[in-house]
Structure 1
């Protein structure tokens, strides 16, 4: 099987090209010589079975970040038939150095100058033939976003794979890279022959930046857009969720219950009320996750995410962080795990550690499911988006407080270097692919935890068999009552307590657990049943605690692996627990004192 590695700098459209080439059917795989998983997809190019590996975005093979180390070790330990280098045509003067380094270490390569459709708007003129002569490798212009030139690129990839019968290793990269003087001379000659820039009038990017990066109005606009995103998620996602929930309930009544009707009561109830009920409740939130990631695709692919880092950098610097920490916190809205792994681009160990303490407070998609459900059950349609947005602000507040408290322990002196790409609106295909990829990841990653969690909660709720289900005499009832001295003062009753305990495994279990716990005694809808059991103050305290308390088990494991310290991972666990309890206690007791 032929092996291709895709390499490029951040914000060059590398992931867009990888998704177009592989059809977004990638999975993660282990590789000799490195300790992290990389995206990989197996496809057929021409007549060749080919494995395509998406390497982390890097700036320099000589760099010191962990992502740059990952790329070096991959190339040194894993032979490849072809390196596909993705660079931004509009920023070639700052990016061509990476292609020169690949040429110096002697690996078979193909250079793709992406975003060719944008280059003329910025007065950029590129001569691919001249660049090819200097680099001794094929050079093509293309637009991964719109597919311009893609057919020619795919044909050339197939041709190069046929010519390269044996894979090659990079050898010792630091040794093979030439002297800085020779490198600078070659780069200067290449740019002189193959890259020219003509003056242009104000572009749409410069006009928008005057408003969106305004020193006074920039941050209010950003938070306003974030509120608008939650409004869109709630307004569009909620009706879709109701429709899917109706379909799931219809399927249960017409198919699942008749099919399993022959079973004795205990396994019958376990499969229907426990397994199906819990999983169906979580599955009903797939439309919400889908809409959320479509919105996030717009924020990220438009170039606005990099600008949010720029806007927040001065403030984050006072907390010992930088704009990248803020971006990774936003990325944590999808899942905290990849956001923490993305911290490898930071060279400062102290900055990475402090960011690891901050990111778990991001309102991830699993928590979002819980919050949308609770806000729908306890608040009006007019108030619910505001409640959701307030939790988003609380997540920022928790991150800011954490950074302020621990910045002295993890001091950082690394400056921020940030590329601001031109504004571009993602295509519908890009948005749908991103939403599908993230939803698929959510389901694949979550189902095993959900199945374990809802079954375990159902068993706790129905054992011992000689007591009334969900009563104080069951295992769950005993656990909930035992925790009341701790959770009672913050308004969390015994039933909610059990869901929180299993939520430590994965936050997706919280909602499935509530479905199991509250569906045991009453046949009414879950939302109305919970609304009768608790009031809005208890609900908000529960959501606040869910937002801030212990990150899921996978996040804790990644923190331990990335920090290489069990002690640091435990610090993150105990700090989040303490902060969650204090914040919920202040809110709950304060609201009760005010008569709510």
Structure 2
């Protein structure tokens, strides 16, 4: 999509590093929310604000040194009448000027210095700023972007009306560097562990809340729609009836969306919005960078991957702010390893129906390990280069998040979910109903029946594989008694894993195609299918041989055929003896019960240690 800005219209392009307060500053200036769009035909997705008589383009924050190339590409699109708003942090002003000034030489613009309240607290005055104003003939405006005063608002707008040229001569050094005191996240031994715990906490909270909400809301939802289902059951035409109340109909699958996916996405978006507004995301990014950089990702990318546990669509769209060298890798990691609320809920349901809830531990462990291996294999060398270092390796200040800032961070995720994911969900539901009515899904399953033997799975596993490739809640077919009775615990684990990672769901695939290209999406799906096949073979046969070795320790004379008899005697009778039919109960009954769970700058540490 192209930015619909006429050549004569003046744009203000904002550049700066991650966590400089760019977005907060622009939101305060324009008083509106952004929409994401490619900047003037380039492949660079920028948040665009139109309000208060201004058109402001907020370029992605610079995280890696290679990101400066992306910013230069955006600046190359500027017209003579456009203005650059350079945002730097008062706490690391010398570093930011040294890194960013070369990008804007020859452009017209102004400089806004954020986090000035931190410099003021440290006893600094505006003398250095006045010196910069006089020597560079540029407007340097110090502000606290979180609390922009009317006077500062007026000064910025007035300076934007009369921008001046950035000269090749950089301002003199300020000579200070201000950082907060270290926290547990900066601990040299276990800081990374604290970062992982903080990163997984929203996921655990969202799953617990979704379980609790679904247990209460699902019976109410079913009671509300049952009269409508009874009426629609009398529709004489078969196809419309199946599209509405069939196995994959809107009223059949729709309640799962509203009682499970929507609450999960909302709560998860609020948690991540709080992390971003407080500055915790940047601390986590720096803490995890040494572990993730060899894989081609950053800590911020991992946040996006974990974000996919709510819904893959907002997570994929959020990669617009990724580094240029890491975006495709991050998309691939989300498509492979982010178990969305549908997939994770269906996985819990299958394990619960099989009376094996403990399988979720090896499932998550194997999913995590294989996702990391897969990411390492596909990441480009540029993303893993030692020379492509972070540009925000300093400690950022942790702030008390304000509701307005949290909501601004959250609203974008919810908007993408409701405007992108849900319409595609409805379309796929209708398409799946048509395919099911025409028996095309069963025909496709019959074609891949023989392939199931490769993974030591029975033919009954074919249909869940097909449906999970369309919608991840197709995993629920593994919970049918006839299917469970033919599966050992290892086969259940293998089947659920393979169905979950073989292909991204159609909603995710279509979103990736729109964000990149159809060619990239098809290549991603093919690459993911190959990787999922290899990992599933390792799980199926490796687990089989390991269990065989354990069995042989107890029965040295047993052969491989005896091993199959051992499985048949110990596992299958117990599974067949179960008379409970979980597959025909409400979805919420599958869910586990909720449980709580130059000159050397002067370094100044301010603030109180937290965490």
* TM-score for the superposition, normalised by structure 2: 0.70
**CA-to-partner distance for each residue in 1:116-147, whole Å, 9 max, x for gaps?**
33334556554554444444344433333xx4
* 1:5/1:80 contact within 8 Å kept: no
Provide closer, same or farther for how the CA distance between residues 430 and 575 of structure 1 changes in structure 2, counting only shifts above 3 A. farther
- State the distance in 2 between where 1:94 and 1:408 align: 28
Corresponding residue number in structure 1 for 2:144: 143
Structure 1 residues without counterparts, runs of 5 or longer:
171-175, 464-473, 503-508, 519-525
What pairs up with 1:75-86 in 2 under 5 angstroms?
Answer: 75=78, 78=79, 81-86=82-87
- State the distance in 2 between where 1:23 and 1:258 align: 48
Corresponding residue number in structure 1 for 2:3: none
User: How many angstroms does 1:157 deviate by?
Assistant: 5.1
User: How many angstroms does 1:441 deviate by?
Assistant: 0.9
Query: Residue 267 of structure 2 is aligned with which of 288, 291, 304?
Result: 291
What pairs up with 1:75-474 in 2 under 5 angstroms?
Answer: 75=78, 78=79, 81-97=82-98, 100=101, 104-109=105-110, 111-120=111-120, 125-127=125-127, 128-144=129-145, 147-156=146-155, 158-159=157-158, 163=161, 179=168, 183=169, 186-188=170-172, 191-192=173-174, 205-208=180-183, 211-246=184-219, 248-253=221-226, 264-273=237-246, 274-284=249-259, 285-316=261-292, 320-321=294-295, 324-334=297-307, 335=312, 337-338=316-317, 341-346=320-325, 358=333, 360-363=335-338, 367-376=340-349, 378-379=351-352, 391-402=363-374, 412-419=385-392, 420=394, 421-463=396-438, 474=439
Query: Does 2:25 match 1:41?
Result: no
- State the distance in 1 between where 2:177 and 2:379 align: 43
Corresponding residue number in structure 2 for 1:12: 20
* 1:358/1:399 contact within 8 Å kept: yes
* 1:303/1:422 contact within 8 Å kept: yes
**CA-to-partner distance for each residue in 1:355-406, whole Å, 9 max, x for gaps?**
6765543415xx23320343156449x997x866765543431233235656
User: How many angstroms does 1:214 deviate by?
Assistant: 2.5
Corresponding residue number in structure 2 for 1:477: 442
User: How many angstroms does 1:438 deviate by?
Assistant: 0.9
What is the DSSP-based 3-state SS (H/G/I as helix, E as strand, rest coil) of the residue aligned with 1:42?
strand
Corresponding residue number in structure 1 for 2:472: 510
**CA-to-partner distance for each residue in 1:384-436, whole Å, 9 max, x for gaps?**
7x866765543431233235656898873424234132233433333333233
User: How many angstroms does 1:16 deviate by?
Assistant: 3.2
Deviates more, 1:241-250 or 1:87-96: 241-250
**CA-to-partner distance for each residue in 1:451-499, whole Å, 9 max, x for gaps?**
2321121112222xxxxxxxxxx22222223223224634672441231
Provide closer, same or farther for how the CA distance between residues 404 and 36 of structure 1 changes in structure 2, counting only shifts above 3 A. closer
User: How many angstroms does 1:36 deviate by?
Assistant: 3.5
What pairs up with 1:36-75 in 2 under 5 angstroms?
Answer: 36-43=44-51, 45=52, 48=53, 50-58=54-62, 65-75=68-78
- State the distance in 2 between where 1:388 and 1:21 align: 48
- State the distance in 1 between where 2:359 and 2:133 align: 56
User: How many angstroms does 1:94 deviate by?
Assistant: 1.4
- State the distance in 1 between where 2:443 and 2:346 align: 26
What is the DSSP-based 3-state SS (H/G/I as helix, E as strand, rest coil) of the residue aligned with 1:74?
coil
More RCO (CA 8 Å, sep 6+): 2
User: How many angstroms does 1:22 deviate by?
Assistant: 5.5
- State the distance in 2 between where 1:325 and 1:451 align: 34
Structure 2 residues without counterparts, runs of 5 or longer:
1-8, 548-563, 572-611
Cα RMSD, aligned residues only = 4.5
User: Matched residue pairs, number?
Assistant: 523
**CA-to-partner distance for each residue in 1:533-588, whole Å, 9 max, x for gaps?**
989766644442244333442476489759x9799647633433324532552587
What is the DSSP-based 3-state SS (H/G/I as helix, E as strand, rest coil) of the residue aligned with 1:344?
coil
What is the DSSP-based 3-state SS (H/G/I as helix, E as strand, rest coil) of the residue aligned with 2:11?
strand
Corresponding residue number in structure 1 for 2:531: 576
Provide closer, same or farther for how the CA distance between residues 559 and 452 of structure 1 changes in structure 2, counting only shifts above 3 A. closer
- State the distance in 1 between where 2:292 and 2:177 align: 35
- State the distance in 2 between where 1:26 and 1:85 align: 19
User: How many angstroms does 1:442 deviate by?
Assistant: 2.1
**CA-to-partner distance for each residue in 1:197-230, whole Å, 9 max, x for gaps?**
68xxxx8x4241xx32323322333333344333
**CA-to-partner distance for each residue in 1:297-352, whole Å, 9 max, x for gaps?**
344444444444444444446xx435x44531332233453465555344xxxx77
Corresponding residue number in structure 1 for 2:467: 499
What is the DSSP-based 3-state SS (H/G/I as helix, E as strand, rest coil) of the residue aligned with 1:6?
strand
What pairs up with 1:558-569 in 2 under 5 angstroms?
Answer: 569=524
Provide closer, same or farther for how the CA distance between residues 72 and 159 of structure 1 changes in structure 2, counting only shifts above 3 A. closer
Provide closer, same or farther for how the CA distance between residues 510 and 429 of structure 1 changes in structure 2, counting only shifts above 3 A. same
* TM-score for the superposition, normalised by structure 1: 0.72
User: How many angstroms does 1:288 deviate by?
Assistant: 0.7
* 2:468/2:500 contact within 8 Å kept: no
